[in-house]
Amino acid sequence: MSTAETAAPPGVKTSHPVGFWFIFFGELAERCSFYGMRGLLAMYLVHVFGKTKGEASEVVHLYMAGCYLTGLLGGFVADRLLGKYWTIVLFSVPYVIGQCLIGLSDLTLVYTALVILAFGSGVIKPNISTLMGMTYDQQRPGQELLRSRAFGYFYMAINVGSLLSYQIAPLLRDAFGEIDPATNTLANPKAGYLAGFLFPAVLMAVALVIFAVGKPFYAKEANPVTAEPDPTPAADKWRIVWRLFGLFGLVLFFWMVFDQKATTWIYFANDYLDVRFTTPFPINGKTDWRIPPESLASANPFLILCFVPLLNLLFARLAAKGYRVRPTDKMTAGFLLTAAACGIHAIAGSLATGADGSITKVGVIWQLAAYVSLTLAEVLISVTGLELAYSAAPKSMKSFITALWFVPIFVANLLSSQLAKTYPEVVKLGETPKVPAFELYGVKFFDLYQFPTAQAYFLFLTVLVLAVAAAFVVVARQFNRAMEK
């Protein structure tokens, strides 16, 4: 632990700057758009285009990988050419177009839209948080704890948007697609998914307007082309990059588990959890209902809204007493909680599976418990890592270093695009699933092992993350020693 920060310099306000709120609400709407589309994508490919779960998982994870790879482009364009504000605004326009195309039930248009959306989302992502950090550095200098809280609230904005989209988009899909709660089938899937995808499209347009009008309140950016060079020696800059990348390289295993809530966690909820419920009185003439499996993911953003302020308060109290928990300590605890989330799924799958291989669905409380564990891990790893990337970066490389934080997420989703194929395609005993293969962009390399059950798949992830946690402890110790020199 380290000693707490000093008080704010005289004359410096201690409230959040006005620009923060434009960034907060713009990010809220943009993330609502992003997660609304992503939450529907896997089952959209299954229901409308007849993809297998493995094929749908591959598309979803390759799309997410593209979102995070293009973050490097966003960091370069902002740092060297356009600046943060104009990079965000200009790349938001095709982002809106892509959201409008994806629900048109044409596979070529879907793939085209995903490429457009990957560029839009990826280029924007590292620059939003960097611009926010710069705004605090300029308008609230010396207030590291205030900036740290802002990163926590920024993450809350992401999850308010996620919470709304995970609830509203599937409900629109079910309403317009005429879902049958007894069989979980859509009578009109194309109409349902079109309605579900229009919701994110409208929100992305709203996000662009909110962010754009806040320009007078953001940090003043020097022209990247004519700005004076950062005096930090190049060797020192890349030494910092190397230290951070040592940590970030292991964080990819957290993201490899976390982003599967858009694929294997949905499949698990659909196959192993009883999502039906009955109301004591008719609503629209119906008493039998179901929770869309995609909507269970809304537990994650809801819990973020609970945990972020509580953990901010906890760490602020510790700081006030002269101590602050090191970022690497928080991240280590996050890995252990990630392993626990996988273990909960393994236990639930075992309880649901009979000796003859039949499935007796268990309560949704099992996945909700897993979301509690995973969400705590997310706060301790993702929020912490994002701020660490910003604060440790040299002045001239802040967008680029922030983008580096997203590179492990790119690699994680690239791996998950193949790993998720090993999740069992069917759960009925005696059925023979299609043998999955390791393929990238249509090129087959080799066949993959098929896990016999979902519980075996999640048990494998549990053991893997525990091993990574042990490795992270060693790397974190070396990182802390290097940063203290």
Q: Nearest to residue 32, comparing CAs of 165, 169, 157?
A: 165
CA distance 417 to 413: 6
* Per-residue confidence (pLDDT) for residue 45, from 0 to 100: 93
pLDDT of residue 372: 97
Give the domain ranges of the chain.
18-221+234-426+434-484
Partner residues linked to 362 by β-bridges: 273
190 touches 60 (CB < 8 A)? no
DSSP 359: B
Report the predicted TM-score, pTM, of the whole model to 2 decimal places: 0.76
| ∠ Cα 427 428 430 (to 5°) | 125
**Separation of alpha carbons 424 and 219, rounded Å:** 50
CB 270 within 8 A of CB 184: yes
Token pair listed for 365: 């409380």
How much is the pLDDT for 341? 97
Give the residue among 451, 463, 399 at the shortest CA–CA distance from 134: 399
Residues facing 440 on adjacent strands: 443
Q: Cα-Cα-Cα-Cα dihedral of 308, 309, 310, 315, to 10°?
A: 90
Query: Can you state the angle between helices 144-177 and 299-320, rounded to 10 degrees?
Result: 170
CA distances 350 to 340, 370, 436, Å, are 15, 15, 23
For the chain, 485 residues long, give each residue's pLDDT as a single digit of tens: 443 444 555 556 777 888 888 888 888 888 888 888 888 999 899 889 988 888 899 999 999 998 888 877 887 888 788 888 888 888 888 888 888 899 888 999 999 999 999 988 888 877 888 888 888 888 888 777 788 788 778 877 887 888 888 888 888 998 898 877 667 788 888 999 999 999 888 888 888 888 888 888 888 887 665 656 656 566 666 676 676 777 778 899 999 999 999 899 999 998 899 887 777 777 666 767 778 888 898 898 889 888 888 887 888 888 888 877 788 889 999 999 999 999 999 999 999 998 888 888 999 999 999 999 999 999 899 878 777 776 666 666 666 676 677 788 889 998 998 888 888 875 444 555 565 666 655 656 556 677 888 999 999 999 999 999 999 999 888 877 776 66
So what's the pLDDT on residue 254? 95
CATH architecture of residue range(s) 18-221+234-426+434-484? Up-down Bundle (1.20)
What pLDDT does residue 5 have? 45
